[in-house]
Structure 1
Amino acid sequence: MLPINSRYGCSVAKCFLLWSLVPFINAKGDDGESHTKMHNADKPPSESHLDLRDVVFIIQSQRNSFHVRQAEKLRKDLLLQIQALEESPPVIHLLHTLSDNGGDWSILPLLPYLSSQFGKNSSWIMFLEEDTRVKLQKLHQVLRTIDCRKEWFLGKPLHDEESTIIHHYAFSENPTAFKYPDFSAGWALSIPLVNRLASKIEQEPLKSDFTIDLKHEVALYIWEDGKGPRLTAVPELCTLPERSPVAQHCATTVNSHSPQCGQPIKSENLFVAVKTCKKFHSERVPVVKKTWGKQATLLEYYSDYADPSIPTINLGVPNTERGHCGKTFAILRRFLSSAVPKTDWLLIVDDDTLISLPRLQALLSCYESSEAVCLGERYGYGLGQGGYSYITGGGGMVFSREAVVQLLASGCKCYSNDAPDDMVLGMCLNALRVPVTHSPLFHQARPEDYAKEFLAHQTPVSFHKHWNIEPIEVFNKWLKDKNTDGLQKGTKEEL
């Protein structure tokens, strides 16, 4: 087992939980099925009669108003294409409307419902993200070539270049062996597979565990240690930009631009709180000051020691090796006090978080500060057993003022100073029925911990940890823009 590096101190270090709870998985093979092999398979006599109404589309929507609008736009576009094709309309559902279970975003708990509703009269469940763009006629042509009476798991494959903490160091002997889907390209399950998985879930309830990288964990569950189907690569499922001249063959594309809904919010309307501690004042704080800290108008460093040379503020909460719940709640209280300027937005980060504030300001133009908004990279705990979602702290936690007001008014508090702050906040938000809003642009880990093709169609907002990297170089490569508006994507690989 790999050691926990001491550099993880003074941040929300849930890695110790992951290492203790999740066994290593090792494999030497398991290449994904090829599209060529799929087309060479025996084809059913009725394949040419597959109607689009035999496909159920699930848009992986969220409860936040901005994301509801995005999902509705996608649904409307699908219906307009159907009308033009003069086809019978398929079933299109927004995921967040299917039940009151906030954990439905983790997909697996939803499969019994999908099986009961569509397991007899449909052929495919096609999952789409809000930013996925679909050419229905092309998608129809692809699905007609596949025997939907068999178990199929379709998508655009990703793989790890090296074993990574976000995948619990799975397949450490051969990280490239296991393929999992890039959800941005869309992915599909045949109904026979949905029905079998649903029966399995009903007979063997899902374990109460962490949901960290959903696409990898769904693929692992379906693969079932080699007993289930592998991901089949479908070249027509793409993450090329929608208007790319080389996307003619694609049935799906992706909007690769970072969302912006008007003018970015002003830097004076974003208060930034950096959590640190004395032992990292000379190591991590200088990195913040040399990189993204220069982009902030309102920023304070919170520590267990008041150092006027930085300066840092001692909130009266002793430092803890992990969790930092006491410190985070003290920050929330300070944000609502007269001690700091009044702003609509609060960003809480660790001292080893790397972030682009201009990109964040552009992203926040899409959200209503009058709503209770909690934004970042969403994780889950015990979602198969009625658990809760939370924003993982290392990638940055963004709160609207209204969200902070509701959190503190609820009386929710830490059960100890070293409790995991992000998870406690998730429990509080779950009790308040305030949705946790996910953005894939926030990252709990380093760029090296993510598949290259996954990052290639992103404009990332944040990464986390200084472990085995040069943090200033990482910031300059991934998060520093050539201009000052946060929209230049010069660091990105152009697909």
Structure 2
Amino acid sequence: MLFIYVLFTLFQFSVQLENTNIIYVIISQNNYYSQQISNTLKQTLYEDYRSLGLNKPKIYVSKEDFNVPGDWTLTPLISPILNITQPLTEWIILLEERTQISVELLLNTLRQYDFTKDIWIGHALHDKEATIVHHFAFYENPTFFKYPNIGSGIALSIPLLKKLESYLKQGLSKQLDFHIDPSHEFAHLIYNMRNDLMLRHDNSFCCKKGPNCATYPRKFKPCGCVDVSTIFFAIKTCKRFHENRVTVVKNTWYNYAKHKMFFSDVEDSNIPTVSLNVANTEQGHCQKTMEILKYTLKEFQKNPLLKWLALIDDDTILSVSRIANVTTCYNNDSQPFILGERYRFGIQGFDYPTGGAGILFNVPALQILASKCTCPRPDSPDDMVVGICALELGIELVYIPQMHQARPDDYAFGRLATNDAVTFHKHWMNDPQRVYEKWFLADDSMLPLEPDVKLEL
């Protein structure tokens, strides 16, 4: 009897799996590393289905199969996804390239939900306090609103996607000027459409690797040998911050960087700083940034071993070691790259790297920008101008989810749970020394200390 029961259970499980009709969509980027990890995820899914005796699943990679502008903000993907669904399609699973999946556990989880209803499932996050990265939404009760951790994957029913498509086509949604966090903005869109359609949290959608996880975001791993000496750190500052922000930089990550320089509006041999004869502006800093690019390009021409420029604000908190880790995945590509945190201006506009998170330029990108990118005004927003120039000049902007424009407190715990952050930003309402020690010191302390070089001014 036990043998018959086991056979029946296995047969029932197999039938339930066979009847689950899922389409996977990997939100990808346009570079060799992205193509590699997207393909690895794709092949892993195929192998899992094969090992379970299931038919090959439908898997789409956004840049290869849809290639719509601003796909990472999610809403532009809704219509292309619905165009490739079949009558029997039950679920759409949105994944980041770094998402890891146990197909068996995922299918077991989805069987518990009714795909004929308007429903979406994931790892629910909520803000601890109202935050700028979410446009200060729900400031009266920020813990009330739930949004997904995209790295954990999101499951969406077809009826929900169809209603969203109709809602958008009717022009009922408010168009955002800036796209910052697609997970929160997508959740807000659904909430505005119907405030009873809050994300369903399921414990099998995990924010980090653990037992019984159907999905989780993989912790970042370098792609090769790490060499800090290939990176030139250019720190933007001004006289106003020489006594405070600069001191914090020098007491935290600065001494682990081999090639580094402070750029200010005045020369100060005690720091030391380089003045580019550009007056400080309260906003924008475009002219200063362009002069830094031109100046540092000359440094690169003197030292052919340099491969990356790290353009850093004086209130950015970072790990030198982890920045070097990130660059290893893009060292062997001659394509011009900018790496950083990604924002978007307008749904039909352009992406740009946010300056506070730090911006990494490889040599081809630096050469192009230093010679061809110009500022509309000296105080134009430098990061947005870089984004426009990148779009016009064919430079690929690569989103690094570990680089952050805001403080650790501005992010939900689950968003940072992989513990692989590379940068944070702001000293305001924040102890930058403590942030550095908590997040970055352990990794950086494995690097040799580099002596400060006195400049001949």
1:58, distance to aligned residue in structure 2 (A): 0.7
- 1:65-464 equivalences under 5 Å are 65-118=32-85, 120-204=87-171, 207-224=175-192, 226-227=194-195, 229-241=197-209, 244=210, 247=211, 249-256=212-219, 258-264=220-226, 266-338=227-299, 341-342=303-304, 343-368=306-331, 370-383=334-347, 386-409=348-371, 411-464=372-425
d(CA) in 2 for partners of 1:483 and 1:467?
A: 23
Q: What amino acid does structure 2 have at the position aligned with 1:324?
A: H
The TM-score with structure 2 as length reference comes to 0.90
d(CA) in 1 for partners of 2:339 and 2:69?
A: 15
What fraction of aligned residue pairs are identical, expressed as a percent?
38
d(CA) in 2 for partners of 1:408 and 1:466?
A: 30
Q: What amino acid does structure 2 have at the position aligned with 1:212?
A: I
1:476, distance to aligned residue in structure 2 (A): 0.6
1:59, distance to aligned residue in structure 2 (A): 0.9
d(CA) in 1 for partners of 2:165 and 2:17?
A: 23
Change (3 A) 1:443 1:483: closer
Deviations 1:251-273 (A, max 9, x none): 113322x3211211x22211110
Change (3 A) 1:51 1:424: farther
Q: Secondary structure at the match of 2:164?
A: helix
CA RMSD of aligned residues (A): 2.0
Q: What amino acid does structure 1 have at the position aligned with 2:362?
A: S
d(CA) in 2 for partners of 1:214 and 1:356?
A: 25
Q: What amino acid does structure 1 have at the position aligned with 2:345?
A: Y
Q: What amino acid does structure 1 have at the position aligned with 2:389?
A: C
Q: Which ranges in structure 2 are unaligned for 5 or more consecutive residues?
A: 1-13, 448-457
d(CA) in 1 for partners of 2:31 and 2:88?
A: 32
- 1:2-17 equivalences under 5 Å are none
d(CA) in 2 for partners of 1:101 and 1:295?
A: 41
Change (3 A) 1:119 1:325: farther
Equivalent pair of 1:53/1:88 in contact (CA under 8 Å) = no
Deviations 1:116-171 (A, max 9, x none): 22164411110111221111112112212211111011101111111111111111
Q: Which ranges in structure 1 are unaligned for 5 or more consecutive residues?
A: 1-46, 487-495
Change (3 A) 1:206 1:107: farther
d(CA) in 2 for partners of 1:424 and 1:394?
A: 15
The TM-score with structure 1 as length reference comes to 0.83
d(CA) in 2 for partners of 1:116 and 1:481?
A: 48
1:315, distance to aligned residue in structure 2 (A): 0.8
Deviations 1:88-119 (A, max 9, x none): 22210111113343311111011111122216
Name whichever of 305-314 and 67-76 sits farther off.
305-314
Equivalent pair of 1:304/1:315 in contact (CA under 8 Å) = yes
Q: Secondary structure at the match of 1:188?
A: strand
d(CA) in 2 for partners of 1:188 and 1:367?
A: 31
Change (3 A) 1:308 1:106: same
- 1:466-481 equivalences under 5 Å are 466-481=427-442
Equivalent pair of 1:52/1:88 in contact (CA under 8 Å) = no
d(CA) in 2 for partners of 1:73 and 1:473?
A: 37
1:371, distance to aligned residue in structure 2 (A): 2.3
